[in-house]
Structure 1
């Protein structure tokens, strides 16, 4: 696939969190024990979230080898340590706990991994979840606000009803300098601080205004105190209730992750290339994050047609749009390609536009008698 990702330096953690929420993933793919899934590794969150549904197998793939290293570190921890160390290494108990967890995990790693993670955690003392380039950019917005506006934002997670929350936002924030500050911070120009400018080549919409409209919609439709992504963006890991964490980071799911870890394989490479390979033919469902954000509409159509060439392929595929309208104007010439755009779950991040689902329907075999 001709993606802008091939033009990047893939030598650091770009994402320390998967921003595509697990509930949209679960609702869309309806994972069963017979499913073989492909997922973009990113920070590993959704690869682990999928394991909680007991699939036959999960293949996590990423062009960035450092993203795969993060998932493999989590795998090492889950298999060999208790939940407390996992929790602390993520950064959920603060920098002191991260350092203590580091001292326990490093001796169990290979010499090469010891060297890598020693340096990495020295540079990112807040833990794994706070270490990504995008995450640092997102959380810096709150720090750029004045004390009064920070306090107003904090009040948004104190409401018990959406109506009261939305009314407060309109009265206290929408009519203040917060709106223009937000739009300016998340503009395409400034967004390049968190995402490489090369990745914005094919966008169809402008960041700041679009993101503000999506934030406004979220404030009017879902309870922010229960939204992990809202709380993470504005407050990081500070006072984060355990029940709003992604499923793979909750204590009650830890034993399931450990039990199912042998179903996970992590490989380096491009997702579409894998789907077009012989091993990729076994994949029944795939979550491809927002990888189609970084290709042209013409390239997207080529990818869909290439995936449809194999007559026996029975595949459900989902991906997220950010500033692109990928798939919305696509009219497949092959009738076995079923494509539809769907809204996101209430647990999603305002960052995204929507989720697109594609189904490749197999051609029935002809049996001559």
Structure 2
């Protein structure tokens, strides 16, 4: 695929967190035991979350070899250590725990892994979760605000009802100077410090204003105290309740992940090109993050047409739009997922960054797989263990 992402330097951890909600992953793909699932690696979170659903195979793919190296480190920690090692290096328990865990783990890592990651942890003492270019920038916003504004933001975590939460936000935060500071920090000029400017090539709208509108919508519809992405965005990884973490980082699923690791492989490359290979034609479900954000509308349509013409089993694609709403309109005889179902996924996704979740039957089945309700998808893992 002709993508702006292929034009940037792939020599660093650009993403240390997957911002696409795992509940949407489960609801949108309805992963079955016979599926071969393709997932954009990114920080590896949704690769591991997909693996927890116990499909036949998971293939992680990324153009950036550093992102695949990050996944390999996480898999090594899962395979050979208890859940405390992964939790410690992620940064959930603070910098002291990162340093303590790295000293213990580095002594027993394979030589090549230890040599690769030692400089990284030296440069990022707060751990993996804030080490990505984007995440370091995002979590740098709140410390720039006045203490009273920081305290008001934290007060949002104290409410038991959305109505009370929204009323407080409207009275204490929704206006200058907070709105102006947020929009300025996350607009294109400043946001390029967290994401390469080339990645905004096709964005038709302002990032800062759009993200602020989505933040307001989230505060009006979801309890943010129970929203992992809101809490990480504003307050970082420390102090997050275990129950809010992505499933792959919860202690109760650690042993399950270890058991399922043999079903995982990783590939360095481009997802659309991989799907056209013999190995790719065995993929039945794919979670493609927001890769179409970086392609032109014409290129998106071309890729969709090629995927629909490729032989293989029915293929369901799940992807997220950030600032560019890439949407394929199927013909009258083509299977598709209803607009209402896609709108529901968009509305209920936990990350306010994304408000256009799309599901495409790229190689249509006669009877498309039904979407799982997002509210029910949280039970997917527990039922798969029974």
Matched, 1:318 2:321: no
Cα pair 1:337 1:360 within 8 Å, conserved: no
Gapped regions of structure 1 (runs ≥ 5):
365-369
Of the structure 1 ranges 98-107 and 122-131, higher mean CA displacement relative to structure 2 is found in 98-107
Partner SS, residue 38 of structure 1: strand
Cα distance in 1 for partners of 2:33, 2:110 equals: 33
Residues 214-233 of structure 1 mapped to structure 2, 5 A cutoff: 214-233=214-233
Change (3 A) 1:7 1:334: farther
2:108 corresponding residue in structure 1: 108
Offset of residue 208 of structure 1? 1.1
Runs of 4 or more above 2 Å deviation: 107-113, 310-313, 330-347, 360-364
The SS at the match of 1:157 is: helix
Q: CA deviation at 1:266?
A: 1.0
Number of the residue aligned with 2:309: 309
What secondary structure, in the 3-state scheme, does the structure 1 residue paired with 2:23 have?
helix
Alpha-carbon deviation of 1:104?
2.2
Q: 2:20 corresponds to which residue?
A: 20
Aligned to 1:40: 40
Kept after mapping to 1: 8 A contact 2:310/2:363: no
Q: 1:338 aligns with which of 315, 318, 336?
A: 336
Q: Is the 8 A contact 1:40 1:271 kept in 2?
A: yes
Equivalenced residues, count: 362
Q: CA deviation at 1:173?
A: 0.6
Instruction: Report the secondary structure of 1:203's partner residue.
Output: coil
Could you tell me which residue of structure 1 aligns to residue 248 of structure 2?
Answer: 248
Instruction: Show the counterpart of 1:185.
Output: 185
Give the secondary-structure state (helix, strand or coil) at the position aligned to 2:310.
coil
**Residues of 2 paired with 1:363 and 1:162: CA distance?**
40
Contact 2:282 2:312 in 1 (8 A): no
Runs of at least 5 residues in structure 2 that lack an aligned partner in the other structure: 367-386
1:195-239 Cα offsets, whole Å, 9 max, x none, are: 000000011221111111100000000000000010001100232
**What secondary structure, in the 3-state scheme, does the structure 2 residue paired with 1:108 have?**
coil
SS in structure 1 opposite 2:267?
strand
Q: Distance between the aligned counterparts of 1:32 and 1:226, measured in 2?
A: 28
Aligned partners of 1:318 and 1:356 also within 8 Å: yes
Q: Hey, what's the Cα distance between the residues in 2 that align with 1:290 and 1:357?
A: 12
Q: 3-state SS of the aligned residue for 1:338?
A: coil
Instruction: Check the 8 A contact 2:39/2:58 in 1, yes or no.
Output: yes
Residue 349 of structure 1 pairs with residue 351 of structure 2: yes
Q: Deviations over 1:290-318 (max 9, x none)?
A: 00000000000000011011244410001
Give me the whole-angstrom Cα distance separating, in 1, the residues matched to 2:280 and 2:143: 44
Counterparts of 1:325 and 1:258, CA distance in 2: 37
Could you say what secondary structure the match of 2:43 adopts?
coil
**1:310-360 superposed Cα distances (whole Å, 9 cap, x missing partner):** 244410001000000111xx4346943636443436451111122011013
Question: 2:381 maps to what in 1?
Answer: none
TM score, norm. by length of structure 1 = 0.95
In the alignment, structure 1 residue 126 sits paired with structure 2 residue 126: yes
Aligned partner of 2:369 in structure 1 is none
Q: Is the 8 A contact 2:293 2:322 kept in 1?
A: yes
Paired with 2:365 and 2:317, the residues of 1 have a C-alpha distance of 17
8 Å CA contact retained: 1:336, 1:361: no
